[in-house]
Amino acid sequence: MLFHVRMDVRLPADMPEHQAAELKKTEKEMAQSLQQNGKWRHLWRIAGQYANISIFDVGSIDELHTTISALPLFPYMQIEVMPLCRHPSSIRTDDR
């Protein structure tokens, strides 16, 4: 199942820089691992914002929730999820 996920990150202004840096490092490692195993299909930064648009390919909404809630930055995110399905006018026969 494909899901369009928007994640807006809001770190507390008073968070120590070393703590924020460690969270970001761990987040990057986890995001890259999820991309390598095919669960996190696409990841785009939204220009000018600490936010991204992502496409996840998971077996269920429960798996998506488990995956997203395990992210180190999850407690500091506002997340919007939209399930996706193939459009009948698409010229693509796969999910490229």
- Tokens representing 18? 């070393």
Asked, for residue 22, whether it belongs to a domain, the answer is yes
Asked, for residue 26, whether it belongs to a domain, the answer is yes
Asked, for residue 51, whether it belongs to a domain, the answer is yes
**pTM across the whole model:** 0.90
Asked, for residue 94, whether it belongs to a domain, the answer is no
Asked, for residue 10, whether it belongs to a domain, the answer is yes
For 38-50, b/e burial (b = at least 16 CB within 10 A) is: eebbebeeeeeee
CA 6 – CA 28 distance, rounded (Å): 16
Quote the number of domains for the chain.
1
What range defines the domain where residue 36 resides? 2-84
Which residues are registered as beta bridge partners of 81? 5
- What CATH number is associated with residue 71? 3.30.70.1060
Predicted confidence pLDDT, tens digits, the chain (96 residues): 999 999 999 999 999 999 999 999 999 999 999 999 999 999 999 999 999 999 999 999 999 999 999 999 999 999 999 999 988 898 887 765
Asked, for residue 89, whether it belongs to a domain, the answer is no
Phi, psi of 54 (to 5 degrees): -130, 155
Asked, for residue 55, whether it belongs to a domain, the answer is yes
